[in-house]
Amino acid sequence: MAMLRVYVVSDATGETAERVVRSALVQFEGAPVAITRCGGVRTAEQVRAVVTEAALRESLVLHTLVSDHLRTVMLREARIHGVDAMDLLGPVLDRLATRLGVSPLEKPGLFSQLVEAASRRIEAVEFAFRHDDGQHPEELERAEIVLVGVSRTMKTPTTVYLAYRGWFAANVPLVPGIAPDPALAALPHEMVFGLTMSAPRLAELRQARAAHLGIPGNTYASLETVRGDLTHATATCREHGWREIDVTGKSVEEVAREVLVLGHRERTPGRGGD
């Protein structure tokens, strides 16, 4: 049998289409087939170039072009050059459009973008839990956002919420008498945010926590202790140039939004800034 060259053509990476082809080839053990993946095909000229090359040998073109215009060009060029071409995506898009009553977006790479975003969220959540409550400070330079504050100022839930939105966030407690870890102090001041709260409300939350854990709350949850902790945290934030956010009466979503706005991080999250 002559070698069959299969051209996998996509306006995105072509990885998904290639996986489909390789899955099918498993059923043809030992068949002489070579796969050429042509990703990023987004112009009529690129389509013509692929078809022209395919016409020079025994070949099959399988494509997942989302653009109706490019699919039409592919069909026409394949007929002109006598190339066997098959549209893997068009029929699915047409059937869905008919059943849903809406037209497809025709934006290349959307699936890959969704997969990448989902993968990033998983990694960000793992990062958040690994760096909760000051754990692994030596890795803080990998974070995009770091929250600091005294106990019960919504650091953990806000960190996790940011992680689910794709941000690599960590949180570190501020404790009177203990200097911030050098790794925290070395971070750019604009990426660290201090969370604070009114003393009466914080005392309330600490008392509830002490009761839940069955520990004495006369020191940890006393108004005097709370005020002292908050004063120390504010002084530490001012010393390092960290901006403070008052979280009193706010939801986790509101706090996270304020962090992103203050940090001018309204664009897509990404390592090393946005």
CATH number at residue 60: 3.40.50.2300
Torsion of CA 143, 144, 148, 154, to 10 degrees: -110
Structure tokens at 128: 């958040």
Q: Do residues 40 and 75 both lie within one domain?
A: yes
The rounded percent of the chain whose pLDDT value lies above 70 is: 89
> Which of 86, 108, 130 delimits the end of a domain?
108
Rounded CA-CA distance 159/168 in Å is 9
Does residue 274 form part of some domain? no
**Do residue 38 and residue 133 come from a single domain?**
no
Are 96 and 141 in contact by the 8 Å Cβ rule? The answer is no
Predicted pLDDT at 99: 74
Look at residue 267 in the predicted model and tell me its pLDDT: 45
pLDDT beneath 50, residues of the chain? 110-111, 113-115, 266-267, 271-274
Residue 93 lies in a domain: yes
Output the pLDDT for position 273. Answer: 39
Range of the domain at 177: 117-262
pLDDT at 270: 62
- Pair 74, 159 in one domain: no
The last residue of a domain, from among 108, 138, 173: 108
Q: What's the number of domains the chain is made of?
A: 2
Q: Is residue 13 part of a domain?
A: yes
Mark whether 125 and 225 lie in a shared domain: yes
153 and 222 assigned to the same domain = yes
CA dihedral 235, 238, 239, 240 (to 10 degrees): 130
